Structure 1
Amino acid sequence: MNILKLKYFLALTLTLGLFNIDIVAQDAEEDVEEVIVTGSRILNDEFSSSSPVTIISEEDILAGGNASVDEFLKYTPAFTGYQLGTSTNNGGDGSRKVDLRGLGFNRTLVLVNSRRVIGDVGGDGAVDVGGIPEIMIKRVEVLKDGASTTYGSDAISGVVNFILDDEFEGLKISTGMGEGLENGQASNEDFGIMAGLNADRGNVVFAVGWKNQNEMLQAEQPWAVDALYPQVQADGTITAVGSGSSNSRRIRVPGYGSYIYDEDLGAARPFVAPGDVYNYAPVNALITPNERTQMAVMGELEIADGVDFYFSGMYNRRYSHQRLAPDASFGVSCSVETPNNGTQCNDYVPANNPYNPFGSVNCSNDLNLCDIGVRINRRFEESGGRLFEQTVDNYSLVGGVTWLMGGFVHDVSLTFGETEQVDETLNYGRFDRWATAVDPVACAASAACPGVLNPFGNFGSITPEQMAFLTAGSLKDQSGADFDMFSYVISSDNFAVGFEKRQEYGYYKPDEFSAEGLTTGGASAPLRGGFSVNEVFGEYLMDVNDDLNMDLSVRYSDYDTVGSATVFKVGADYTINDNMRLRATYGTGFRAPNVSELNTDASTSFPVIDLPCQMGDRRLAAGLISQTVYDNCQLLGFNTTDAGEYGFGWQSYHEYYADGDLKPEESTNLSIGLVMEDVLIDGLSLAVDYWNIEIEEVIALPIANLIFRDCLSQTVMDFSTGSCGLFIDYGLNDSSAFGPNGMYYFSYPGDIETPWGNQGTFSSDGIDISASMSGDLDMGNVSGYVLSFDATMHNSYEQEFTFGGSYDYVGTADGFAVYPEFRYVLSAGLQGDNWTTVMNLRGVSESDDVWRPAVTTADAKAEAVTYVDAVTTYDYGNATFRFGINNLTDENPPYFHSNFNGNTEPGVYDVIGRRAFVSVVISY
């Protein structure tokens, strides 16, 4: 750890911790039984709920040493797929979102103090948990079961409920820092203050906080400096060489392969990999910068006998950015209207360009091929790279009144929320100007053109003026969301009914260049709209007999956009004996389309794609493709023999559009569990739960890779029907729908157009295991121990779409997500009178690369990995000090080929390496 940083940090913490340490003493806390509030409007204790709930305490979060609470949840076994946060560069937006069961951020409902909070206006509409004031978090309750009857839409895979300490009394100061031990990489700092005052008639709590995560580039990690680029060797083996994208200054000559202009030779020569490829990896971020400033206030006031008024307010300001390699003259859709349409899309250089080594002015190549136009894939290294910046402001306000009448508690509340976001994008290329820049005649006719472009020269040959002409400068997109909710709940110890009215509104206003699709970012349509829903619900906890409790709940929802829905849930808790219980739930759920989904017209995405025809002979021999697919690959003219190089992380242009009226997603949830205490070993608590989730009418995009495979599976190829009909034919060929300059290139259809809507079904099931044990020890200064184990075994996760068929993703890794069969956290700790030392093992089982099989690359598997963490907590007076090391053994994340964020999945694996952290909390 940086010695200077550590010196100042310790000086600050010691000053805060020791000042007045003998003057103010903290009152001893009374033992209070924690009550679960998630998943029911009726209060339950922790081990009597029929639904499985994981409780994460404030101490658990602090001892984890993570830069933010979402990073802690990222390593919790039930959270799979990938978790969006600072470790997501390409595809990230600075927000922090969690995904329970890997079913999607928008199917995990996030609450604060059991109340909905505003989500973003992005495609998933999920809540950014980075806006929650972490210094106030008392605990996090994770309900691993559907809860649509209790909370309505979105609670399909479960609920994450952040319980804030709204009864705190005194003063708490918290500060901490952490960084990688190799070279201080990915450092973070935080500081927060919370103050609470209790009086006879009420209380108030106020908190402010600041958290900052600094950037770490791939260049700072030796394993991430180079992008993997498999090559077939002469003996048939495959070696992953460190290189990257083949598109540096690559000239594509029709019918003659690839060339590059060599300034030393003064002529074009054959392109040779890996020496001539462009390594885009070093300038990409592995950890993105993220700075947050937070303020919160909450309290309660008795306004009359038995009548209480409560209130809360939260504000969060976030600045974040992501960094990608420079833009290039490739990857834009042929559908973008530019002066170059009808030729060869937007990377074409005509024969009259004076720098074209195959042209009519300066012909210099070993083919003696002149007077032709060529395509060039050239990185705009001179631009400095693409930068995506976000500035976000959001706030929420809650006010309500509770009173007791007729033996029931009445609760009436209003909730308001608003989010405003400005996205600024720098250094995107303007493809509407490419044809002008490379054509001497067109450039001379344009007053804005600063001179004919030489895209063939070495990096640095493009002048700043030419670069300014070719780039869009600063693109500013604006978006926002509003949220308000009225709630009236009447409850007792076994009964609850209520009414809720919720309204959400959102907008997205793209920059003119974004709207017109003039950059490689694709077209973005403006968005504006909202919805309103009225809901009634009821819940009844029934004692059937001394051993059996039943929990019955129902909810009716009426949306002004998608109509009405009724869902139900039945839970049972059966006591076998004093030490064993059976619990089970079965229910239906739903997810109504969010604002973005309801109002999306046409937009674009860039999925990472597989090339099933490339190395087709190997795939056929391994049984990975059928004979029909292989034959169709040859019919289309694709090279199915061993390729000299294997395309890495190539992205297709995927345009999607609204397809009629959306319907809500519908789900069924089943869970069956056994809870045991003191059965196998005295003091051991053990819970084993089976879960099963099925979702129909899934609102999603079809998977591009599955579409192409389905297309190739036709007995007789027909490009006008089925999956093949989704690929765009721009009419660039005279006699066919495919060919070297047409619909297909790079062994894949260039662009795809699909409907957006209710496209398929998801089904997933697995087993959760949770165990804990603690006891006393008499070993000198050691007075006790604690053991815990938390694991998830994922049995299946099948996605099936209208176009493209189905696939089971358990045990696989792809471009953005990993679905391991087994994840676990094992903790063991010792404690004394004023100290605790805990060691954690975090394990993730191996996963196969779903799109890059072993016959095509040496990195076809995300190997199993185990991380070791250690932390020591020491209490001194009214101060608590923590020092820990994450990833003690400095494990590198597993490589796999189809992920281009560092050749791994930073949203799942540890990319910082061995990392130390220190913190102190002082309470007065």
Structure 2
Amino acid sequence: MAKNRFVASTALTGLLGLGLIAIAPVGAAHAQQTPDQGDRDTTLEVEEIVVTGSYIQRRSDVSQASPITSIGIADLNNIGAADIADLTQTLTINTGSQNNPDAFTQNFSTGTSNINLRGLGVSSTLVLLNGRRQVVSGAATDNGVNFVDTASLVPLIAIERLEILKDGAATLYGADAVAGVANFLTRDGFEGLEVRGEFQTIADTGSSSDARIEVLGGVQMDRGYAIAAVSYLDRTPLTMQEKRLSPLFGPDLSSIGDPGTYLPLGQIPLDVSLADVYTQFAGIPTAEGTPLEAIRAGLSAAGELPAFADPACGSTPNSQAPGAVPALGLPAGVVGICQFDFGEFYNLVPEESRLQGFAKAGYDITDNLSFFAEFGFARNRAERGNTPTFPILTAQLIGGETGPTGLPAHPSNPFGVDLISLFRPIGTGEAVNSTHDSDTYRFSGGFDWRINDTWRLNTSVTAATNEFRVSVQDTLRNEMAFALAGLGGENCDPLTGTPGEGPCFFFDPFGPGQASPLNTEEVLDYVIDRNRLDFDSDLLVVDAVIAGDLGDRLALPGGPIGVAVGGQYRGERYGLDADTNSNNGNFLFASGAGTAVPDFRGERDTYAVFGEVRLPATDWMEVNASVRYEDIQGVGDSVDPKVGVLIMPHDDLSLRGTFSTSFRAPSIFQQETGGFVALAQLRDPLVGNTAFLAEFTTGNPDLNPEDSRQFNVGATYQPGAVPGLSLSLDYWNFDFDDKITKENAQALLDEAERQAAQVGNPTPLLNPDRFVRPALQFGLPLLSQVNTQFVNAPSIETAGLDFSASYQFDTAIGTFRPSFEGTLITKYDITDPTLGVIDGKGNRNFTNVGNPTPPLRFNLGLNWTQGAHAFNVYGRYIDGFDDDQASPTAEPGPDGRVPENGVVSDIFTVDLQYTLQVNQLFDLDESLVFSAGAINVAGTEPPFVNTNGGYESRVHDPRGRVVYVRLTASF
């Protein structure tokens, strides 16, 4: 990565952490290198700066004990990054981030992006902007984790560089820095006007495209500076109808469709032992070893269990004619269901628009007192396709001419008997979008007081808020029940009305729902509404830090002792305001089995103090130590130390090592939420089906903070005899205790299956506290919801190697810079709260609390520059890994590929970019730079995974080949 230099006037503008921001001294020039300027150097050397991981000033060319990756503006341009998510996707130290939000694993967070260092969770990496904390997104992941949304952070054109501290940093930055810190620094020294326009599009299958315009302006004054940036993105969607990564009637298959499936209520053999039936259907031998033939004979004696697929099944493109398959807890040969393929209604890339702005100004009030203020906003809008209506997860009753329910006969009932029905109201037609609206506002301001030549006091206040609104169409529980009985309608009195007459009407669940003449627009408006959830997240941070050195009298052989002492207050607020139907559990899918989703609001205050010392023992060895005390309301307090040693036995070699403890408190959402619903693909061992079901998760006020111990040892070798060569190697280890996580619903089902096998009956799988089966009273064991909560997992330990090499050399035909960087994970051991010890390295970890963990990732690069021309090529490798969600038999993908069962293949892609300095070529006065490139130039598809969507969205990019052009003009 390129090494960036700050000008003297902006040296302290990059002070990181807890609001240490200083303002430029009088008369300083804020020169800055603009994007794509190639080798033109407009920066000045600096004497001292403060870098990520320390509050104590040091020379900019001095190494550190903590491992830091610095990614400059030139690097961002070279890889073709259009936004922060493009950068995150290429980081080998990042795994499991959710930058390709899909409908199947990220129900709320469409339109967001995040960072997940070491696969330790998207909330375990602290994201800073100019060294200060950011508000977490109101939208949580499906695992109930709040995170900083990097898609709402700052326009990319305003970023000078990203510094990533790769070991724990809670001693300085507090909770959430357990896996490291990602700090984005803005271009405070920019002067002039820069305009950048970019267009990128998918070049093989699909039509999704991005059009982006960004503008940055800056002025430098005698006693201060000001910059402002704005960006706008318009993204068109990539639908699964355009590009299908999963096979037709493969993993995107629902047993509840339109047309639907019906079971005659009067013929359910309630006198047959359900325990025997469920035991056999779950594939678990009973204590007596009852064979399948005996159970079938018992069913025949009591009356067959026919299930009628709707006569219209198979008449629509998304429905599949019934087959003799086991489903809904009934054995093969007894039931036929009308299956529904929902895949084509969803998106691989959502439709989005983003309007973002950032402004910052600084002013020297006196020669020793400076002031700064910065403001940012983001207005992001995303829409994602869904099926016209979701399936109804609770069995509905429909009256016939005969039967025990007493319901009025439905005029469209072709069977003439009372029915238990499984259907979705509308399965044909256009997709209906869910909307995901995010508004973020942020202000930060403070003072820098130069007490004397070596000591300074920094104070700042940061206030930020995020409002996130999610809306999706769903079926109303009470209204549908009334309408199936002919008592639907706003003006129908269900106590006195006559079914199907006057203001009372029937909803027709037979045949394609949209085609029925009974299902008028008035009827559909009555039984269908939009589920609306409004989340809001607020943050207030007050910081004060004093830093300096103890002078020559207490100096060590290597120089003066550096000291920093500081304190911080954080106030956090988080809440949910749901619509009335959600509050009352009146939705049939989005609220699971009619589960109420209550409003809630929580708040807490955190107080912290810390100290840091830098001991330059000799001119070749330095010791750094820090400690932090933090008291979090309603959670407890923690004292965490960190020590680091830097040894430079030779000018060419530096050795480093750190050890620290860290902690992370449970979020307000995890502690206080009254419950939220996420949707997941789950395999029910009792029924034998895999279906898209609801997970209802409640908060846990008894959660403990998670704590961790981490150490890092590494070396950097830059031989003077070979200028331009740099080699680096680090070994890292993170050991977490009490890891905060949501119980894995599939793990709960798998563990219940194991317990059922042990006791010889299905009782564990019928636990109503965990597994909601609303039609069980009718003999139908269909699972609609799994109840989970937030818990402390016993432990997660991960370790590995980071390695990098680069070499820059000049030739007669230009300057070349080959590079190589990678991460090898040697350990990812999970102690799951349900399943126990699991080796998660090289595993998708779908059925436990871990993240997908490819053992090896690396990037190969080659940069060439000659005059006005530059060319970059990158090869990116992601190792294969096991799929613990794998089905017994693998389905072929759309291209006919049949993956090895239980294995997600490795993948290697190549990116290319050409850049032309137009101003140099034509001797223009102003900078004009043209770039063109391709991401994944060969169009390599993501490895097929036999799951909803057909790929692993937390690891792979579904888009295929993407080409782009960019034009940057600087004035």
Query: Structure 2 vs 1, CA of residues 467 and 917 (structure 1 numbering), >3 Å: closer, same or farther?
Result: farther
Residue 465 (structure 1) aligns with? 521
Shift of 1:258: 4.6
- Output the CA distance in 1 between the equivalents of 2:196 and 2:567: 40
- Output the CA distance in 2 between the equivalents of 1:384 and 1:319: 21
Residue 513 (structure 1) aligns with? 581
Query: Structure 2 vs 1, CA of residues 536 and 459 (structure 1 numbering), >3 Å: closer, same or farther?
Result: same
- Output the CA distance in 2 between the equivalents of 1:572 and 1:525: 51
Aligned partners of 1:706 and 1:805 also within 8 Å: no
Residue 917 (structure 2) aligns with? 875
Taking the TM superposition and a 5 Å limit, the aligned residue runs for 1:516-595 are 516-519=584-587, 520-522=589-591, 523-595=596-668
User: Is residue 424 from structure 1 mapped to residue 493 from structure 2 by the alignment?
Assistant: no
Residue 451 (structure 2) aligns with? 405
Aligned partners of 2:741 and 2:792 also within 8 Å: yes
Residue 300 (structure 1) aligns with? 362
Taking the TM superposition and a 5 Å limit, the aligned residue runs for 1:671-690 are 671-678=712-719, 683-690=724-731
SS in 1 for 2:75: helix
User: Is residue 101 from structure 1 mapped to residue 101 from structure 2 by the alignment?
Assistant: no
User: Is residue 701 from structure 1 mapped to residue 711 from structure 2 by the alignment?
Assistant: no
SS in 2 for 1:585: strand
TM-score by length of 1: 0.82
- Output the CA distance in 1 between the equivalents of 2:808 and 2:249: 46
- Output the CA distance in 2 between the equivalents of 1:895 and 1:502: 44
CA displacement 1:364-394 (0-9 Å, x = unmatched): 99xxx86342332335225744422133222
- Output the CA distance in 2 between the equivalents of 1:895 and 1:430: 36
Match for 1:873: what amino acid? T
Query: Structure 2 vs 1, CA of residues 392 and 729 (structure 1 numbering), >3 Å: closer, same or farther?
Result: closer
SS in 2 for 1:687: strand
Residue 40 (structure 1) aligns with? 54
Query: Structure 2 vs 1, CA of residues 489 and 468 (structure 1 numbering), >3 Å: closer, same or farther?
Result: same
SS in 2 for 1:56: strand
- Output the CA distance in 2 between the equivalents of 1:834 and 1:245: 60
Shift of 1:107: 0.9
Shift of 1:722: 11
Shift of 1:276: 5.6
TM-score by length of 2: 0.78
CA displacement 1:428-457 (0-9 Å, x = unmatched): 111222322222478886469763233221
Aligned partners of 2:245 and 2:951 also within 8 Å: no
**Most deviating of 515-524 and 887-896:** 515-524
Aligned partners of 2:259 and 2:427 also within 8 Å: no
**Most deviating of 380-389 and 834-843:** 380-389
Shift of 1:187: 0.5
Residue 84 (structure 1) aligns with? 99
CA displacement 1:247-269 (0-9 Å, x = unmatched): 34241535546542234999x99
Aligned partners of 2:870 and 2:916 also within 8 Å: yes
Query: Structure 2 vs 1, CA of residues 263 and 79 (structure 1 numbering), >3 Å: closer, same or farther?
Result: closer
**Most deviating of 286-295 and 469-478:** 469-478
User: Is residue 893 from structure 1 mapped to residue 942 from structure 2 by the alignment?
Assistant: yes
User: Is residue 126 from structure 1 mapped to residue 167 from structure 2 by the alignment?
Assistant: no
User: Is residue 315 from structure 1 mapped to residue 368 from structure 2 by the alignment?
Assistant: no
Match for 1:741: what amino acid? G
Aligned partners of 1:797 and 1:809 also within 8 Å: yes
Query: Structure 2 vs 1, CA of residues 652 and 353 (structure 1 numbering), >3 Å: closer, same or farther?
Result: farther
CA displacement 1:847-874 (0-9 Å, x = unmatched): 2211115656554322111111100111
Residue 741 (structure 1) aligns with? 779
Query: Structure 2 vs 1, CA of residues 260 and 294 (structure 1 numbering), >3 Å: closer, same or farther?
Result: same
Query: Structure 2 vs 1, CA of residues 600 and 839 (structure 1 numbering), >3 Å: closer, same or farther?
Result: same
SS in 1 for 2:117: coil
- Output the CA distance in 2 between the equivalents of 1:608 and 1:798: 24
- Output the CA distance in 2 between the equivalents of 1:377 and 1:814: 32
Pick from 895, 918, 924: which aligns with 2:965?
Answer: 918
Shift of 1:127: 1.2
SS in 2 for 1:93: coil
Taking the TM superposition and a 5 Å limit, the aligned residue runs for 1:820-831 are 820-831=854-865
**Most deviating of 66-75 and 164-173:** 66-75
Taking the TM superposition and a 5 Å limit, the aligned residue runs for 1:150-161 are 150-161=172-183
Aligned partners of 1:351 and 1:374 also within 8 Å: no
User: Is residue 845 from structure 1 mapped to residue 879 from structure 2 by the alignment?
Assistant: yes
Residue 487 (structure 1) aligns with? 543
SS in 1 for 2:808: strand
User: Is residue 785 from structure 1 mapped to residue 799 from structure 2 by the alignment?
Assistant: no
Match for 1:835: what amino acid? H
Shift of 1:112: 0.2
- Output the CA distance in 2 between the equivalents of 1:559 and 1:30: 43
Aligned partners of 1:259 and 1:270 also within 8 Å: no
Pick from 474, 495, 516: which aligns with 2:530?
Answer: 474
Match for 2:963: what amino acid? A
Shift of 1:808: 2.8
Aligned partners of 1:353 and 1:439 also within 8 Å: no
Match for 1:249: what amino acid? P
Residue 30 (structure 1) aligns with? 43
Query: Structure 2 vs 1, CA of residues 265 and 821 (structure 1 numbering), >3 Å: closer, same or farther?
Result: closer
Residue 681 (structure 2) aligns with? 608
- Output the CA distance in 1 between the equivalents of 2:311 and 2:640: 68
Match for 1:543: what amino acid? P
Match for 1:751: what amino acid? Q
- Output the CA distance in 1 between the equivalents of 2:348 and 2:698: 32
Pick from 951, 958, 962: which aligns with 1:904?
Answer: 951
Taking the TM superposition and a 5 Å limit, the aligned residue runs for 1:160-239 are 160-182=182-204, 185-224=207-246, 226=248, 228-229=250-251
Shift of 1:466: 6.0
- Output the CA distance in 1 between the equivalents of 2:760 and 2:338: 37
Taking the TM superposition and a 5 Å limit, the aligned residue runs for 1:241-390 are 247-253=257-263, 256=305, 258-263=307-312, 271-272=322-323, 277-331=339-393, 345-352=394-401, 371-378=417-424, 380-381=426-427, 384-390=430-436
Aligned partners of 1:508 and 1:527 also within 8 Å: yes
Shift of 1:655: 2.6
Shift of 1:273: 8.3
Residue 829 (structure 2) aligns with? 798
Taking the TM superposition and a 5 Å limit, the aligned residue runs for 1:432-447 are 432-440=478-486, 446=494
SS in 2 for 1:607: strand
Shift of 1:542: 1.2
SS in 2 for 1:474: strand
Query: Structure 2 vs 1, CA of residues 518 and 386 (structure 1 numbering), >3 Å: closer, same or farther?
Result: farther
Query: Structure 2 vs 1, CA of residues 578 and 169 (structure 1 numbering), >3 Å: closer, same or farther?
Result: same
CA displacement 1:560-587 (0-9 Å, x = unmatched): 2212111111111122433222211111
The unaligned stretches of length 5 or more in structure 1 are 1-25, 230-241, 332-344, 614-635, 640-646, 735-739
- Output the CA distance in 2 between the equivalents of 1:363 and 1:75: 56
Match for 2:56: what amino acid? I
SS in 1 for 2:471: strand
Aligned partners of 1:438 and 1:452 also within 8 Å: yes
CA displacement 1:817-852 (0-9 Å, x = unmatched): 532111111111211012210101111111221111
SS in 2 for 1:228: coil
Match for 2:937: what amino acid? L
- Output the CA distance in 1 between the equivalents of 2:740 and 2:840: 18
Query: Structure 2 vs 1, CA of residues 911 and 803 (structure 1 numbering), >3 Å: closer, same or farther?
Result: closer
User: Is residue 71 from structure 1 mapped to residue 102 from structure 2 by the alignment?
Assistant: no
Match for 2:564: what amino acid? A
Match for 2:585: what amino acid? G
Query: Structure 2 vs 1, CA of residues 555 and 453 (structure 1 numbering), >3 Å: closer, same or farther?
Result: same
Match for 1:495: what amino acid? V
The unaligned stretches of length 5 or more in structure 2 are 1-38, 269-303, 326-336, 550-561, 892-897, 920-926
- Output the CA distance in 2 between the equivalents of 1:813 and 1:564: 35
User: Is residue 863 from structure 1 mapped to residue 905 from structure 2 by the alignment?
Assistant: yes
